[in-house]
Amino acid sequence: MGMKGKSGRGQFQGSVLLCLVLAGASQEEDLEALRGRVSRLVGLGYRKAPEVRRLSAEDLRKQTERQLDQGYREHLGRLDRTLSHFGLLQEDEDLAGTEGESPGVGAFYDPPSGALYLVGSPGQDAREAEGILVHELSHSLLHQHFPDLWKRSMEIEGNEDARRAIMAVIEGHAEWVREEAGFSFERRDGPAQGAPSYWMAQTSFPYRWGMEFIRKVAESGGEDWQARVFSNPPLSSEQILHPEKYLGDRVDWPTRIELPDLDLGSEALGRPIGSDSLGEFGMRFLVGERAAAGWDGDRFVVYEEPGGGTYSVWYSVWDSEEDAREFLEEYSRRFGVGQAVESGQDEITRRTNDRYSRMVRQGSDVAVLRGVPESGLPAIEELFRKVKKTELRRAGESPGNPGGGGIGELLKEFPGQERP
């Protein structure tokens, strides 16, 4: 749910700018040899050698500080409160307080400039440094052949789960190349130690799960598998977690959800601070792996009131009625605090002080109003009537036959939305 902006700060957070440890394998002849090795493994040639730039650890620190400006820190604060509303952050966890801390100096490939940055760090293991450079050089090679994928990963707004899936393809491929080159998988970058557990998992997701996804795609065969996955990538964490839902004859594309404007009562005076999709990845943190497995799409809006309280509208679509029922049951069990006002198999209403939460299942859809005034409860029926649902891809479409839609449709449907 890293609802990023379109400025340089989003570039730092959302691109493949990786703070990785680099050691002595920075000589030009070593880089040239590694470029050849990566090219042979990937089966593509470099159109040009990436420009190599050197950066001191102090320069990297200053660059990080410039990109984490006040506006971005305010965004992190809103994101912090949004995640807290869903129970994805605990009271003692502070996302904004850890995001700007660098885990160390490193190397990174910067797509906008096409440059490979080397950040000196004496005393590091040379083999580890070689593996890191293989990772970064694979980024530069694939970026030369498929530049649109990187561009689009930074353009997507309002659907973090789709962006998470695309980043899993980008980072997972680089980790797969590193593994094929004989370097074991071991992440050494990421948020500072002590960062929230959900954020730690989100940061590692593109690397670990992305590599497993790419491995499965590679094993599926075909000389053009890389072109196929980079030209027509998965659009949900569900497809990354379950590669068969991307590789099958009938691809399980996610459902896009448009929430209507609702009248939640005159006492609901909040302003929106977060609007996004949790995806199956986020759902796992809420209800566990089993109950999250039937996810097909979701959309939420979180509002913050003048006094600091939050309430939300959330709608999810599931593969079957049974999947929807299992999610509702598990979610209400884990988060159904307060006094029960109404309780049934498909509808649950609870009260906490003067605020209410209502969870309703209709067929394979589940709607949740959380923390709203009593006068806003009837809006859940309006939500079921007016919500819009569309598949991001046509039914039966295969990864090898884009035929329109997909990521282009996603960008059209979310045309540069700014964060609230």
The answer to whether residue 1 is domain-embedded is no
Q: Which of 153, 175, 219, 161 shows the shortest CA–CA distance to 20?
A: 175
SS3 percent helix, strand, coil of the chain, rounded to 5, is: 45, 20, 40
Domain assignment of residue 201, given as a range? 8-252+396-413
Location of structure tokens 């604060």: 77
Q: Are residues 283 and 227 in the same domain?
A: no
The answer to whether residue 220 is domain-embedded is yes
The answer to whether residue 420 is domain-embedded is no
If one counts every other C-beta atom within 10 angstroms of the C-beta of residue 222, the result is 11
Q: Are residues 223 and 284 in the same domain?
A: no
Q: How many domains does the chain have?
A: 2
The answer to whether residue 418 is domain-embedded is no
Q: Are residues 154 and 227 in the same domain?
A: yes
Location of structure tokens 């004989």: 182
Separation between Cα atoms, residue 255 and residue 241, nearest integer Å: 17
pTM of the model: 0.84
What long-range pairs does 3-7 form, CB within 8 A, spacing at least 24? 3/75, 3/79, 3/157, 3/158, 3/160, 3/274, 3/275, 3/276, 3/419, 4/75, 4/154, 4/157, 4/419, 5/71, 5/72, 5/75, 5/418, 5/419, 6/154, 6/155, 6/157, 6/416
Q: What is the pLDDT along the chain (420 residues), one digit of tens a residue?
A: 433 333 333 333 333 333 333 444 445 677 888 899 999 999 999 999 999 888 887 887 777 777 666 566 777 788 888 988 998 887 667 665 555 444 444 678 999 899 998 876 555 567 777 888 899 999 999 999 999 888 888 778 789 999 999 999 999 999 999 999 988 765 544 444 444 588 788 889 999 999 999 999 999 877 789 888 998 899 999 999 999 999 988 889 999 999 999 989 877 778 999 999 999 999 999 999 999 999 999 999 999 998 888 999 999 999 999 999 999 999 988 886 666 667 778 999 999 888 999 999 999 999 999 999 999 999 999 999 999 999 876 433 444 443 344 545 554 443 333 222
Query: What contacts 355, CB < 8 A, 6 or more positions away?
Result: 309, 311, 371, 372, 373
Q: Are residues 218 and 269 in the same domain?
A: no
The edge-to-edge listing of strands for the beta sheet with 51-55 is 51-55, 115-119, 107-110
Q: Which of 369, 79, 312 shows the shortest CA–CA distance to 198?
A: 79
Torsion (CA) 195, 196, 199, 203 in degrees, nearest 10 = 40
Q: Are residues 404 and 385 in the same domain?
A: no
Q: Are residues 194 and 71 in the same domain?
A: yes
The answer to whether residue 357 is domain-embedded is yes
Q: Are residues 265 and 379 in the same domain?
A: yes
Residue 72 tokens, joined: 């971005």
Query: What contacts 349, CB < 8 A, 6 or more positions away?
Result: 340, 341, 342, 343, 356, 357, 358, 359, 377
Q: Are residues 78 and 56 in the same domain?
A: yes
The answer to whether residue 419 is domain-embedded is no
The edge-to-edge listing of strands for the beta sheet with 271-276 is 271-276, 295-304, 310-318, 365-373, 355-362, 347-352, 339-343
Residue 394 tokens, joined: 């046509």
CATH number of the domain residue 362 falls in: 3.40.1000
Q: Are residues 245 and 275 in the same domain?
A: no
The answer to whether residue 261 is domain-embedded is yes
Q: Are residues 166 and 275 in the same domain?
A: no
Q: Are residues 229 and 310 in the same domain?
A: no
